[in-house]
Amino acid sequence: MKKRESSILYLLLGIYALMINWYYNHSIIMLILSYIFWPLYLIYELLTGHLSHGMWKHIPLSYFN
C-alpha cells in the first residue's frame, strides 16, 4: 500500500510542476522538458522564489477560476 500512496503523490507533484511551468512560460517545448525533469524544475522554482508570497496556491487556483 505504501507504493501506491507514494506514486499518487509523485503524480500530483508532477502535475503541479506542469501547472507552474505553463503559468510562467506558455511554451510546449518547456512543458515537455519540465515533464521529463519535473523534480529538478520544482526545486528550481522553489529556490528562485517563484512560489513565494502565496503564488504556490494562486497558480493552481488560476486554472479553476
Condensed to tens digits (0 to 9), the pLDDT of residues 26-56 reads: 999 999 999 999 999 999 999 999 999 999 9
Question: What is the predicted pLDDT for the residue at 7?
Answer: 85
Contact criterion met (CB below 8 Å) for 34 and 41: yes
Average pLDDT over residues 15-23: 95
